[in-house]
Amino acid sequence: MTRNAVQLITYADRLAGNLPGLAELLRTPPWSEAFGGIHILPFFTPFDGADAGFDPVDHTEVDPRLGTWSDVGEVASGRDLMVDVIVNHVSADSAAFRDWCRDGASSPRDGMFLTMASVFPDGATEEQLARIYRPRPGLPFTPYDVGGEKRLVWTTFTPQQIDIDVADPGAQAYLDSILDAIAGAGATLVRLDAVGYAVKTPGTTCFMTPESFSFIADFTAHARARGLEVLVEVHAYYRRQVEIGAAVDRVYDFALPPLVLHALGTGDGGPLARWLEVRPANAVTVLDTHDGIGIIDVGADQTAPDAPGLLPPAELDALVERIHEASGGSSRLATGAAASNLDLYQVNCTFYDALGADDRAYLAARAIQLFTPGIPQVYYVGALAGRNDVALLKASGVGRDINRHRYTASEVAADLERPVVRALFALCALRSRLPVFDAEFTFSLEGSVLSMRWSAGEDEASLAVDLGDHRARLAWRHAGVAGATEDLLASPPVVAV
């Protein structure tokens, strides 16, 4: 399989119980045939903290409840492995932060953590504070007792996630130690979580500034020296995503999910086609992740609202309402101020429910994703065409948990027998197995029909999706053997390579 093979995104515990279970699952058909790589969401200590592993106490240790670094290596065996590097923050329970809180300026960790005063040593004006861009309401500061005095510590996301100063030598050594551990386990790619917020420059938005790009370039050099490719995770205005793509190894295509939903919901492929014309080709494509469905990525520039987005405000509002209606209102319970995890620019919903659990629409959406240039990733709930987990949402009160179901082995086995899941795995196997997806890509939009084609000499793979009625037609030729299907659900593609 190539680097362009489909990757699975999953938690270590929510699909197969733990890391050894995950390694065994990936060795077993149909998983082994569909996925040539995997992105394991944070498995560090603790994997079940305040933000589902994205608030590590110790980023260099595997949580022993999940396994060991050796088990991570088993998951990596024979496939690409992507691992998260949380560069922006650590847990408030980390030894380094506790040491600093206890000893203050005399702590060897002094300087590793950001405060309002360390970023604004001369004080901050109201205008400067108002310019700070943040994915949550309010200002990014939390009061903590540090060395016997009250300090306003920088906390971009939650009060339990303490932002580090990436320019501090101690912080740099900490990040290098993470890269060493990940590379040592056999990973091939790292995902820079929330890197857009990692550098705070006074007088700016503190989000994806020139200083941010400089940090990304420096970190990427450290990663490449260890044989690791870097994926940058940033939700941002679409033109900024194009700029980011030109400066990094890989960038997420977060605009694709809402544009596909808009296209299939309205029959209008214009905005999607315009994005396909300008999007970075070095992208990782997703329809779903452990977070919500991003809206900010196709809207107006949040830092310059007069810069229009890929969808105008009225169409964006209509898209959100269609998702809520398609999910029977369950996504509304999990989104925005309705849930404690305030993702104001995301809709929390499984992608399957966002399409009203319509099998044909869902397979059409996945086919579009898999034919779009880049590395395709499929979230574990999406791989099993999962529904919104309202019970988990009610139990935790965390909006994003509606799309983070904990599967039992029997549930996985039952879902693998569903026609929509069998068809999706077949699509993924085709995408992972045919080398033509490394070749030349073209597309066209005629009326409501989106056509996508990959070609290399006589080899080809082509897709035609009617965005109005969701019919998807697929054809391919490899090494002189041709195949086709007019109905992905009733006749999934079968490819032998």
The annotation status of 344 as a binding-site residue, yes or no, is yes
| Residues ≥6 apart with Cβ < 8 Å to 85 | 59, 175, 178, 179, 182, 190, 191, 192, 193
346 appears as a binding residue in the annotation? yes
Which two tokens mark 260? 């596909």
Is the separation of the CB atoms in 373 and 1 below 8 Å? Answer: no
Query: CA-CA distance, 89 to 87, in Å (whole number)?
Result: 6
Q: Is 325 annotated as a binding residue?
A: no
For residue 290, say whether it is annotated as part of any ligand binding site.
yes
191 assigned binding-site residue: yes
Q: How far, CA to CA in Å, does 336 sit from each of 136, 342, 344, 346, 495?
A: 10, 5, 5, 8, 43
Check: CB of residue 150 under 8 Å from CB of residue 143: yes
Is the separation of the CB atoms in 215 and 200 below 8 Å? no
> Rounded distance, CA 473 to CA 386, Å?
24
* DSSP conformation letters of 350-407: -HHHHTTT-HHHHHHHHHHHHHSSSEEEEEHHHHTTPPP-HHHHHHH--GGGGG----
Catalytic residues: 193, 233
Question: How would DSSP label each residue in 462-490?
Answer: EEEEETTT--EEEEEEETTEEEEES-TTT
Q: What is the CA radius of gyration of the chain?
A: 22
Please state whether beta strands 161-163 and 89-91 pair in parallel, antiparallel, or not at all (unpaired). Answer: antiparallel
Residue 302 annotated as lining a ligand binding site: no
Q: Has 63 been labeled as part of a binding site?
A: no
Q: Is 71 annotated as a binding residue?
A: no
Distance CA 433, CA 373 (A): 15
The answer to whether the annotation marks 129 as part of a ligand binding site is no
Structure tokens at 39: 């992105």
User: Which has the closest alpha carbon to 21: 383, 406, 366, 309?
Assistant: 406
The answer to whether 192 is a known ligand-binding residue is yes
CB neighbour list of residue 462: distance below 8 Å, 6 or more residues apart: 451, 452, 453, 454, 474, 475, 476
Residue 301 labelled as part of a binding site: no
* Cα 71 from Cα 66, distance rounded (Å): 9
DSSP state of 220: H
Cα separation of 353 and 387, whole Å? 6
For 416-433, the DSSP string reads TTSHHHHHHHHHHHHHHH
Establish whether 345 is an annotated binding residue.
yes
The answer to whether 248 and 220 are in contact (CB under 8 A) is: yes
- Classify 111 in phi/psi space as left (phi over 0), alpha (psi -120 to 50) or beta: left
HSE-up (13 A, CA, CB side) for residue 115:
20
Whether residue 400 is annotated as binding a ligand: the answer is yes
Residue ranges at the known binding site for substrate = 51, 89, 191-193, 233, 290-291, 343-346, 400
Residue ranges at the known binding site = 51, 89, 191-193, 233, 290-291, 343-346, 400
